Structure formats: C-alpha cells, structure tokens
Chains A and B, each alone.
Chain A
C-alpha cells in the first residue's frame, strides 16, 4: 500500500514540475558544474595537474550527460509537456496567420457538418427501422431471371402480384 502511495506522490510531483515554469535542466546544469569544480579543486590540492584533476573529477562524478537526461526524465511528466507545447504552438501559428486559421477551421467545420448530415440521412433510411407499423414484416422484392428491354412495368413478378 505504501509503495502505491510513493509512486502516486512521485507522479504528482512530476506533474507539478511540468506545469511549473522552472527549468530543471538549468538547475541541474548549475549544480553539476559547481560539484565538478569543487571536486577538481580538491584533486588539485592533492597535487594533480588541472587537466588530470578535471578528468578525475568527471570520472568520480560519472557520466554527466547521461545523468542529465535521466534526471530530466525522472523529474517531469513528459507527455503532459508535449501536449502543452503542441497546443501553445498551434495557438501561436493561428495568431500569426488568421486567414489560414479561418480557412482551416471552416474546412474542418464544413467537412464534419457534411459528414454528419449524410450520416443522419443514411441512418434514418437504411440503418434504422422504418417508421411504420410492424416494420419487421416489410419485405424487399428482387427480380431474378432474364428481362429484356427497360419496360419494368411488364415484368412477371409485379404482374403476378397485381394478380
């Protein structure tokens, strides 16, 4: 139970971090730089040359780049950030070219409207039962066999029905 609670807390912290404006990357860059510098100074005091010391400091710290990307992934909720970024990008583009925005919105609106209208029609005519009494008793007549010409009024089935 407490494990679940910890995961929940971590995710909430990540979402909060993503919604906030603080850039974690810059924070950690600064922290890591300060850390490496202090380590380097320490090695220099122990008698290393500055180059050696710098190298030893990097080794003791571990991969800075890898650490950065891992921390970035763990500190924030990336999918939320992606959605927010995309939405602000869209709004910005529309502001930049309003004519294009209106055209694309109208195109989408008309497209969706036309599709809805046609679907409503098809739905009523074909998909739903007809608005008559006992619709399940209605049959469709299909002619089979050979007919010549286009005089459908003369076809034998309708003649038979007419009696």
Chain B
C-alpha cells in the first residue's frame, strides 16, 4: 500500500441540489479540476474556468460559480497558481490565473491520489453490490 495520505479533503460543498440527477461538486475536487483546467488551457479568468468545467461535466455537476473564487484563492495561497490583470472578452478588466511549476507538481500528485481513492471506493462499492 502507498503510505502517502490524501492532502485534499473531499468535503461536500454547500448549496442545494434542486435536480436529483445533478451532483454537487466535491470541494477538494474543484481545486483539482481547476488546476487541471489551467494546465490544459493556459491562463484563464474565473468565468472561463467555470465555463470550461461546465462544458466538460456536460451539466452533470452543479456548481455555484462563486465557489470557483474560493478555490482560486486557496490555490493561490499555496503558490500553485498565480494571477495577473488583463482584459476579458467584453473588454472589462479581468484577473487571469495561470498554473505555476509547483502547481504542476501538485496536479500530478493529486491526480494519482484521486485515481487511487476513486479506485478503492469503486472496488468497495462493487463488492458490496455483488452479494
């Protein structure tokens, strides 16, 4: 067994889910998704990140888009992303976020972590259902 522990806590985010088929975004997972998005797409502002996640999740995930900014702050405090001001599509001032070197390293670690944990949970759920 790998002896490294998960550094991301997968706590449920606040907010209600009116539609049963849409799942709430797990908080730690949002950090991970944002890191991945910035890694794949290059610098983006908060709105762009929200659109990208919405597009990829095919409307399965319900996201209070304001929580993206909580995540962005957390990631910035850890030094995994950096920000600079630029102009948005509608020519407003917007803050663009980009992933740092430390962020890429964290992304690799967290991705492994995530795959390990979801693999275990998936296995447990399958065994329980086979009875």
Contacts and interface: CB of A to CB of B under 8 A. Distances in A.
A71 B92 contact: no
A41 B90 contact: yes
B94 interface: yes
Contact of B77 (A13, A30, A31, A63): A13
B46 A35 contact: yes
A60 B65 contact: yes
Contact of B7 (A6, A27, A41, A62): A6
A9 B78 contact: yes
B59 to A, nearest CB: 12
28 contacts: A3-B5, A9-B77, A9-B78, A10-B77, A28-B69, A30-B92, A31-B45, A31-B46, A31-B94, A31-B95, A33-B92, A34-B90, A34-B92, A35-B45, A39-B47, A60-B64, A61-B64, A62-B15, A62-B66, A62-B67, A67-B66, A67-B67, A70-B70, A71-B69, A71-B70, A74-B73, A74-B74, A75-B73
